[in-house]
Chain A
Amino acid sequence: GQQVMQIPQYQHVQEGEDFTTYCNSSTTLSNIQWYKQRPGGHPVFLIQLVKSGEVKKQKRLTFQFGEAKKNSSLHITATQTTDVGTYFCAGHGSGAGSYQLTFGKGTKLSVIP
């Protein structure tokens, strides 16, 4: 079945440093989505990428979708304490009748003030 791997599992950074998390799928995806879960909360949608090679930005966050539509990355520039949480990638399969939304295990970001 479809599997989505995400690395690293944990990341500790000093406030102001950059942060990147990587996502790889075992199969071609129709889209990639990114979510953020604050401690004690539930995953909240950040963005969706659909096109091969697509790059999107949200303020200090940059999201990329690979050319083969099997990998993605999230980069945060100059982290702040408000960035603390777990970041998940998730993808919809591209096969006919593929309704599954598969999540990676997430990268837990800690920001040291």
Chain B
Amino acid sequence: DAGVIQSPRHEVTEMGQEVTLRCKPISGHNSLFWYRQTMMRGLELLIYFNNNVPIDDSGMPEDRFSAKMPNASFSTLKIQPSEPRDSAVYFCASLTWGTEAFFGQGTRLTVV
């Protein structure tokens, strides 16, 4: 397995634009997590899915953020409209409950 695959690796966009981050989890894993990492706030859990169902989205900062998992092999995190304060590294991680989390390489988002 190639591991958790995130795309794009880097994204630079202008304020107000829509941004879509993508994640392909490891086959067979039934939980998927989206995290955001900044120097100030560390690693923050945004939302997680279990068997493609969103379980807890209380970490999503605002209605501008939305996440979907239409099937077991794909998830998206969308920001619309984007703002400079959304600049961060966004990580996707997948796991089977009770075992280790495998992280993707991350998407470094810069909103100018």
Residues of A near any B CB (own CB < 8 A): 1, 30-31, 33, 35, 42-45, 48, 88, 90, 92, 99-103, 105-106
Min Cβ gap A58→B in Å is 14
Known: A42-B106, A43-B43, A106-B43. A99 touches B55 (CB 8 A): yes
- Interface size for B (C-beta < 8 A) is 25
Q: Which residues, 27 to 72 on B, are CB-close (under 8 Å) to A?
A: 31, 33, 35, 41-43, 45, 48, 50, 55-56, 58
Residues of B near any A CB (own CB < 8 A): 31, 33, 35, 41-43, 45, 48, 50, 55-56, 58, 91, 93, 95, 97-106
- Contact partner of B101 (CB less than 8 A), chosen from A1, A33, A105, is A33
Chain B residues in 8 Å Cβ range of A88: 43
Q: Is the interface of A mostly helix, strand, loop or mixed?
A: strand
Q: Contact at B56–A45, with CB atoms within 8 Å?
A: no
Chain B residues in 8 Å Cβ range of A35: 101
A99 to B104, CA, bound (A): 19
A110 to B99, CA, bound (A): 29
With both beta carbons as reference points, the residue of chain A lying nearest to B43 in the complex is identified as A103
